[in-house]
Structure 1
Amino acid sequence: MRPHDSSAGSTARVVLVCGPAGSGKSTYARRLEAQGYARLSFDEEAWLRGHTEHPLPPAAAAAVHATLHERLAGLVRAGRDAVVDTSFWSRASRDDYRALLAPLGVVPVVHYLATPRDEVLRRLAGRTGGGPHDVVVEPERALAYLEGFEVPTADEGPLVVVHPG
């Protein structure tokens, strides 16, 4: 089953999985991957580059996003559906990917994981640093991430709100 139709010229569909650390983005993205989407993960790319703590230095984060942009554009040109797994914590970060995709004829759909704050904090408290989706986030940083997160709205473009359960 296809969760939406994001194409505006291309046959590829793109989902931007959006939510703060601990909201369940990677689990959700893997579900879409099982449905045939190519999955691009910020955390996995950062981990492969030796970045095992967050936040990444700005230059390192920019390099990871540049790699994801290149891979995403290639997938879309090949007609492949893709899901991008990163926090997309700001509207500007989401707009950046929209700007990449617009000339390729794709309007991405943001899937926002509206995970309750207490659940996010519980999940983050249980992290051990064992892999790219288990990066330790100190309590103060977790609160800062939650307070600084810009929740997407429908005026940005196609939006699906997911209530993980």
Structure 2
Amino acid sequence: MTARVVLVCGPAGAGKSTHARALERAGYVRLSFDEAAWEQGLREHPLPADAAGQVHAGLHVRLRTLVAAGRDVVVDTSFWSRASRDAYRAVLAPLGVVPVTHLLATPPDVVLRRLAGRTGSGPHDVVVPPALARAYLDGFEVPTEDEGPLVVVAGGA
């Protein structure tokens, strides 16, 4: 049986990690960009491009290994650009896996409120200043069905 892979997509504060943990409870292995970065001592976002590339490279290796073992995987990162989503699709294509993108559709005011309450206490609580939060929202490239399977998930209040 071919492994299933979900790419959880949305801006910071959209609820991606909460959604990914629910899939983890359903049997998926969860790969978290923020946790991997935190483990490497990277605490401020956005990460420099080289550091982000290294974190993603590590996730790619783990993803390939898990999928080759037949495990279902959920990847928890912003996937803010189509290019970032395509990079993971390229990792999976030789394995015969077409990932499903889960877009967390969370109202911008909710995202901004959640980010304003962050304290920096852990990998899913990284402080995002208001101007950066707005830039994340404005720069987010919403996935479309022409990229592949897409599920829109309500991001809550």
Indicate whether 1:126 and 2:114 are aligned: no
Structure 2 match to 1:14: 5
Give the Cα separation in 1 of the matches to 2:99 and 2:107.
Answer: 25
Amino acid of the structure 1 residue aligned with 2:79: F
Give the Cα separation in 2 of the matches to 1:94 and 1:154.
Answer: 13
- Residues 8-157 of structure 1 correspond to what in structure 2 (within 5 A)? 11-157=2-148
Structure 2 match to 1:5: none
Give the Cα separation in 2 of the matches to 1:12 and 1:81.
Answer: 5
Calculate the TM-score normalised by the size of structure 1.
0.94
The alignment partner of 1:122 has SS state of helix
The alpha carbon displacement at 1:57 in A equals: 0.8
Give the Cα separation in 1 of the matches to 2:145 and 2:16.
Answer: 19
Gaps of 5+ in 1: 1-9
The alignment partner of 1:111 has SS state of strand
Amino acid of the structure 2 residue aligned with 1:59: D
The alpha carbon displacement at 1:11 in A equals: 1.3
Give the Cα separation in 2 of the matches to 1:156 and 1:62.
Answer: 22
Give the Cα separation in 1 of the matches to 2:22 and 2:5.
Answer: 14
Give the Cα separation in 1 of the matches to 2:44 and 2:86.
Answer: 25
The alignment partner of 2:84 has SS state of helix
Give the Cα separation in 2 of the matches to 1:153 and 1:162.
Answer: 14
Amino acid of the structure 1 residue aligned with 2:64: A
The alpha carbon displacement at 1:164 in A equals: 2.3
The alignment partner of 1:144 has SS state of helix
Give the Cα separation in 1 of the matches to 2:20 and 2:66.
Answer: 16
The alpha carbon displacement at 1:111 in A equals: 0.1
The alignment partner of 1:161 has SS state of strand
Tell me which stretches of 4 or more aligned residues in structure 1 moved more than 6 Å: none
CA deviations 1:53-107 (Å, max 9, x no partner) are: 1011111000000000000000000000000000000000000000110010000
Pairwise CA RMSD of aligned residues?
Answer: 0.6
How many percent identity over aligned positions?
A: 76
- May I ask how many residue pairs the two structures share in their alignment? 156
